[in-house]
Amino acid sequence: MPKPVTLTKAELIEMNSNLLTPAARAKPVRVQFNPESLKVTYSNQLVTGETKSAQTGTEAMQYVGKGTTKFAVQLWFDVNHPEAGEAAPRNVRELTSKVAYFITPKKVSENPEKYTIPAVRFSWGTFAFIGVLESLDETLELFSSDGYPLRASLSLGLTQQEIKAFDKKQGDRQPKTTAGGKAAGTAPLVSAPERASVQSLAEDGGGGGSKNWQDIAAANGVENPRLLAPGQLIDINAKIRPAF
């Protein structure tokens, strides 16, 4: 009998100033839907030497500092998908505020005129990135009849003041698996038509009635089950079994 497969969720956690250990009493902030992609950008600051007229190519340039690594990711939050055992909030910003904490400046105790922001680690399985939250864009996309925002997307931009290109902790992700232990892509997939949702694919999946669309969304790592990209491939037989 194959072992039950659990879905690893991405999370953010505050780090100490040394960037090595989580801050005291820090609680991880787990995402609701794993992102579809992660973007890591490496850049060096280059200057031209004083004798540039006599030099060409790389000899005319000097590296300055350690360079910079930037990380970008988009996360989705929806009041209709609370964590197990938690009550659904009325306002989605109760969920996004946990992420906004990492970009909120704090006064430095020894110098109240100065501010600092907490270091944060984003981790998902074997991928990890530690830096500071440089930018955060929040888009509220769905409102209730009485004006409460119900769904939001957050675009995060983290910065790290050094380059660790292709560090073993960055980008080494394990393939997604279905409940049968097969790697994603080895089971028959359904191409989503325009304006399709996971719910509609589950209802049309055959096999004697509708399927559990929540399991399908979780097993396929779908971030927005209400609207799939045209042509997006979905394994409608995928399931996430609870661990015993």
| Residue 67 burial class via C-beta count within 10 angstroms: exposed 0-12, middle 13-18, buried 19 and up | middle
pLDDT the model gives residue 181: 44
Q: How many CA atoms lie within 13 A of 26 on its CB side?
A: 20
Task: Give CA–CA dist 182/229, Å, rounded.
Answer: 24
Q: What is the pLDDT of residue 185?
A: 43
214 exposed, middle or buried (CB, 10 Å; 0-12, 13-18, 19+)? middle
The whole-model pTM stands at 0.61
Q: How confident is the model at residue 163 (pLDDT cuts 50, 70, 90)?
A: confident
pLDDT for res 196: 85
Angstrom distances, CA of residue 176 to CA of 23, 118, 202: 30, 31, 19
Mean pLDDT computed over 4-14: 82
Token digits of residue 238: 């995928």
Cβ-based neighbour number of residue 127 at 10 Å: 18
Q: Which residue has the higher pLDDT, 44 or 166?
A: 44
Report yes or no: 126 and 172 within 8 Å, Cβ to Cβ: yes
- The share of the chain scoring above pLDDT 70, in percent, equals 74
**pLDDT tens across 36-60, in order?**
899 999 988 776 655 555 555 555 5
Q: How far is the C-alpha of 167 from the C-alpha of 158, rounded, in Å?
A: 16
- On the question of pLDDT at 207 being above 50, the answer is no
pLDDT band at 165 (very low <50, low <70, confident <90, very high): low
d(CA 187, CA 215): 16
Query: What residue ranges define each of the domains in the chain, with the CATH number in brackets?
Result: 11-160 (2.40.30), 190-234 (no CATH)
Quickly list DSSP for 134-175. EEEEEEEEEE-TTS-EEEEEEEEEEEESS--TT-TTSS-PPP
